[in-house]
Structure 1
Amino acid sequence: MMINRFLDYLRYERNTSPLTVQTYEESLRDFESYVTFRDKELSLSSVDADLIRDWMESLMDKGNSASTINKKLSALRSFYRFALKRQLVKADPAHAVTGPKKSKPLPQFLREGEMERLLDGIEWDDSFNNVRARTIILIFYEAGLRRSELVSLNDTDLDYEAAQLKVTGKRNKQRIVPFGAELAEALKHYQAVRTEMFGKTNGALFLGDKGERITVAQVYKLVNHYLSLVTSLKKRSPHVLRHTFATAMLNNGAGLESIKNLLGHASVSTTEIYTHTTFEQLKRIYKEAHPRA
């Protein structure tokens, strides 16, 4: 049988792990059963691409995820590539078949009330660590920066007179992000406390505990700790604050194109994920508020 020859090839010529061989066999046997069910006159050497697509559709109907179906399709592609090279089939029916797209998880974000509790409800003392932590959280929330962008900020990137921040993003693309009076005051206060702590610095805006430029790992640890105080979200990374910034902007009337430019997205299609986020929030509010929902 063709399947057995392919499995032997994986075992003895490719030295594939037993678990992978088992996974491939399960996918191939499942497809073979489907082919026989559809038409007893058909065989693995006579199927076409449409039948493979029908099989994938049947898998979807059974509740299989896109990821699972793509793994099964990958096994089928490997099988038919092998069969074509060994001249066991005249054509490869799986070659032109594309798998289902994986659905992207919606970005997680904090609600405005949670951000208010974080920034205003916690007692922040005037120590360097607390001032730095609150300023970092505030700049993520008010400017929507990526973690790497925050770490790379220098004092010279701040323009208090114009109330704007020069941000160096992916592929060294620079953008200008405006900021408000609250963030300006927080940044000035942080710089004053930093000077008291370390004196003259090397130009980096945010410093670690020993006076060196803060690292991405230190920023993650800091944000994760403080977000855990106000939210039950499993994900509590700096990127959650970037999502929070974008969602807050959209909920308060900002256009997608404006948000795209502020976030430094290359395409507005990337920014559109936040419209799905706000709609999901709207559905949740509707179900909680409407008596017949």
Structure 2
Amino acid sequence: MDHPSLLALFEAYLTAERRASLHTVVAYTTDVTQLIDYLSEQIPEKIATAVTGQDLRGWMMALAKEGLSHRSINRKMAALRAFYAFLATKGLMVERPTDVLKSLKGKKRLPIFFQEKELLAFLDQYLFPVNFPGLRDRLILELLYGTGMRLAELVALCQTDINLENGTVKVLGKRDKARMIPFPKPLIQLITAYIREKEKLDHPPTPQLIVTNTGKPAYPMFIYRVVKKYLAPTIRSSQHSPHIFRHTFATHLLDKGADLQAIKDLLGHASLSATQIYTHNSLTRLKEIFKKAHPRAEES
């Protein structure tokens, strides 16, 4: 079978059987097309169904020499694994050459977070409009910082998940694992005012807590726009996204002496290793304080 036919079948497989998103379908078919182009240039006698693990490793090495990041290379490996798994299920290959491929490990980047003084000054001093959009936008920012919940968790949050009496919110995290997160007391008044205004909207009610101006459930890009609208002009940071609030929540808790296990539970991490990356930020901050404060810190 020729390469165009294989690609067409693979695309159909991703769409119909894997039910992959359009983004994934485009990315994976592009990656496989790049592999085919590489084979035609470097190993013209080879077709995609006859490659070996060594051939694929050669392509990975070539990509690395070109300066492609380990994340991009790993993404291409994932595309190849899906492609050759597809060929195997269709009986077009017996062995999978991708079995010898191992994902590359790169240097972990420290989480970006907002500085405490800057963020608190903004939240305390910014004059949000005293109407439904203003209350909602402020609630989005306060919930993200006050609970550390994920973007998807905020979008899916229902009004019934909020317990105003004991100041907690029930969040449904990854793998449908529920957890309870306490939230700051000032949020009780804000949530109450927001719900009051939300009920005045002339639109069919929805169970989701956060809704748009037209009363429809909020979606990820909507939350992104709200965060960027308020923080990009006011808070110094290389990024202004909802997820930065999650990093900020964890870092600020750790800076104040919170137990790492407790932070893990609040974030909904499956293991403590995922939470430990925040200790690097706190250690960096402590080193800076030490250099400024200790009399012998600058001695050679």
Q: TM-score, normalised by structure 1?
A: 0.67
Partner of 1:155: 159
**Matching residue's letter, 1:193:** E
Tell me how far 1:97 sits from its aligned partner.
10
RMSD: 3.3
Distance of 2:41 and 2:123 partners within structure 1: 62
Partner of 2:46: 13
> Aligned to 1:185, which of 189, 210, 217?
189
Partner of 2:246: 242
Tell me how far 1:10 sits from its aligned partner.
2.2
Partner of 1:255: 259
Structure 1: state its 5+ residue gaps.
Answer: 1-5, 16-20, 29-58, 75-94
| 1:24–1:138 CA distance, 2 compared to 1 (3 A) | same
Distance of 1:266 and 1:248 partners within structure 2: 21
**Matching residue's letter, 1:175:** R
CA contact (8 A) 2:204 2:215 kept: no
**Matching residue's letter, 1:190:** Y
CA contact (8 A) 1:201 1:211 kept: yes
Q: Radius of gyration: which is bigger?
A: 1
**Matching residue's letter, 1:271:** T
Partner of 2:175: 171
CA contact (8 A) 2:40 2:46 kept: no
Matches of residues 137-148 of structure 1 in structure 2 within 5 Å? Answer: 137-148=141-152
CA shift digits 1:184-203 (9 cap, x unpaired): 11111111122223466222
> Aligned to 1:292, which of 258, 275, 298?
298
| 1:150–1:131 CA distance, 2 compared to 1 (3 A) | same
Structure 2: state its 5+ residue gaps.
Answer: 1-38, 49-54, 78-98
CA shift digits 1:175-232 (9 cap, x unpaired): 0111121111111111112222346622211111211111111001111221213223
Tell me how far 1:67 sits from its aligned partner.
3.6
Tell me how far 1:271 sits from its aligned partner.
0.3
| 1:96–1:7 CA distance, 2 compared to 1 (3 A) | same
Distance of 2:124 and 2:157 partners within structure 1: 25
Distance of 1:210 and 1:123 partners within structure 2: 23
Partner of 2:52: none
Q: Percent identity?
A: 32
Q: TM-score, normalised by structure 2?
A: 0.66
CA shift digits 1:141-185 (9 cap, x unpaired): 110000000011111101111211110111111101111211111
| 1:8–1:213 CA distance, 2 compared to 1 (3 A) | closer
**2:232 matches 1:228:** yes
Between 1:192-201 and 1:104-113, the stretch displaced more is 192-201
Distance of 1:223 and 1:165 partners within structure 2: 21
Distance of 1:225 and 1:239 partners within structure 2: 15
Distance of 1:148 and 1:110 partners within structure 2: 20
**Matching residue's letter, 1:277:** N
CA shift digits 1:229-274 (9 cap, x unpaired): 3223221110000111111111111101100000000001100000
CA contact (8 A) 1:66 1:100 kept: no
